[in-house]
Structure 1
């Protein structure tokens, strides 16, 4: 395989995917609406991925061996793409760990049930229907494989790393850089994954994955939120006191645990052994954290709108200081 078409390749996961495939000597083309710049040396085809004619034009102009689909947010998008690119050597859909419909530890691709998806949810674009829509996209991949399409999917949890426009991880970097005492809610294990590792998973699955299969992709280890803060503090060279708080303490600032980015009230753990069997490896935190912090410093992102205002956090800290 020599060429890849990345559908949506200029913001976050797609941006890392472009780098990954270029680093492995693929000819890379990005297909998007033209709202963001394409790297030098990368071919660009402009169009709306929800327009089937535009996708067909991209196929005719580029004749890709591999198609990486980073921005299929509704099941109909996956069904259209798997039909349009049915003759490609590999189609890889970026699904999500949110596709799983049961809270079990760990979540395994061939065991853990997926969310159901109603027709109304399939047409929706709200956060509440995200998991069901991703699950239905997976089922579209499975159906395509039954028709002979070499279609696969990957399921990442929350993704962090350079260029993260969601700014969920940026919130914690910004807090560590600017304050020496932080409130962190009591939380359970939540698997994260480095964006570069999602990109390498896309390539590995395209090259070695089995049609009709889904592959979890996540970090090799699972720091709890307090440990993530410690890792960030160590990287930036700051002495940060982490103060854990429960619902009662947070109420002093009119806050709840869910107000904090990356909080989860039940462990979310993905088994990645299926992907690792293809030769994929996760990047250690000793490399992912410095790269993420360095790019954050160069950006103008703060993530502050994703979490509590500092004033509310300080009210909680004042209450905890009296205990």
Structure 2
């Protein structure tokens, strides 16, 4: 049994992570702003992670074997957490994102199309950190999401007092109530209604992970002992047409596509640049991934069950 603090952990795959940790016999503390309570057998601390004094007060004298940070988006948040937890944990795991590799958001080395992107493309130990940018501005943060994650990783990678690992998540999918971004519903609704799906002319494949698999991977990462970034994605990349085909097959409707110019906004998961991740490092470290074909049809079925009735 280990003492594990989950920052966030009240929604979506974070909530499932907490259940997985408890089922594995760990002592779990959830720290969030109090909007949603955790299960009854989990300690709940309420604090705003942006408020260093409040965070320190809420933690009191508690120490942990591991902290799993589900909701760190900026280097400012990371710096606060690094100071507060420096003497309170021996391991810190941050949930990061595939978007750190998006070449549209930073000057990154080119990766040939079709070559899975490895972790070393974005090295947090050498990434520039700028805490004086307007990270507290929601509009700025929304448009600089990938850079916020890169810099947050960089702050933790240089912190002293604990070992650090980041899990760079692929696009997370689930059906029904687990479709927390609404992106799968975008396809089920448009296909069942016969509405257009906006796609790029040369849409590139991207990578996905089921919300349950991601919860399992984060549970594994909490105690696996590795440091540095690890990519988290199921085997079997898909482009936007592949995804739409799975939905259309179950819906019994043909997808209708509308091609948009390069650089224009399109439907979710239609990308005109390559940054599909490699999961080779996590496999080498001992995690076994599923294939998208193992779970995507089930997620689509759940999404279709809640989609509006098709129009005539």
TM-score normalized by the length of structure 2? 0.80
Q: Give per-residue Cα distances to partners, 1:111-141, cap 9 Å, x unaligned.
A: 4467755432545443221111111111112
Correspondence for 1:107 among 79, 98, 117: 117
Deviation at 1:210, TM superposition (A): 2.7
Distance 2:3 2:121 in 1: 34
Q: Structure 2 CA distance, aligned partners of 1:289 and 1:179? A: 21
What does 1:229-308 align with in structure 2 at a 5 Å threshold?
229-234=244-249, 237-247=250-260, 258-293=265-300, 296=303
CA distance in 1, matches of 2:66, 2:122: 28
Secondary structure at 1:95's aligned position in 2? strand
Q: Which residue does the alignment assign to 1:314?
A: none
Task: Indicate yes or no: 2:70 matched with 1:70.
Answer: yes
For residues 1-323 of structure 1, the aligned pairs below 5 Å read: 1-60=1-60, 62-86=62-86, 87-100=88-101, 101=106, 102=108, 103-104=110-111, 105-112=115-122, 116=128, 118=130, 119-120=132-133, 122-125=135-138, 126-144=141-159, 147-161=160-174, 163-176=178-191, 178-179=192-193, 183=197, 185-186=199-200, 187-211=203-227, 213-234=228-249, 237-247=250-260, 258-293=265-300, 296=303
Q: CA deviation at 1:24?
A: 1.8
Give the whole-Å Cα distance in 2 for the aligned partners of 1:29 and 1:12.
Answer: 17
**TM-score between the two structures when normalised by the length of structure 1:** 0.78
CA contact (8 A) 2:45 2:59 kept: no
Q: Please, which runs of 5 or more residues in structure 2 have no aligned partner?
A: none
Q: CA deviation at 1:290?
A: 4.8
| Counterpart contact for 1:219–1:282, Cα < 8 Å | yes
* Structure 1 residue 196 displacement after superposition: 2.2
Cα distance in 2 between the residues matched to 1:64 and 1:292? 35
CA distance in 2, matches of 1:218, 1:81: 27
Q: CA deviation at 1:108?
A: 1.5
Aligned length: 291
Q: Any conservation in 2 of the 1:117–1:133 contact (CA below 8 Å)? A: no
Structure 1 regions of 5+ residues with no counterpart? 251-255, 303-309, 312-323
Distance across 2 between alignment mates of 1:170 and 1:37? 27
Greater share of helix residues, 1 or 2?
1
Partner deviation per Cα, 1:124-159 (whole Å, 9 max, x = no partner): 443221111111111112101xx2411211111322
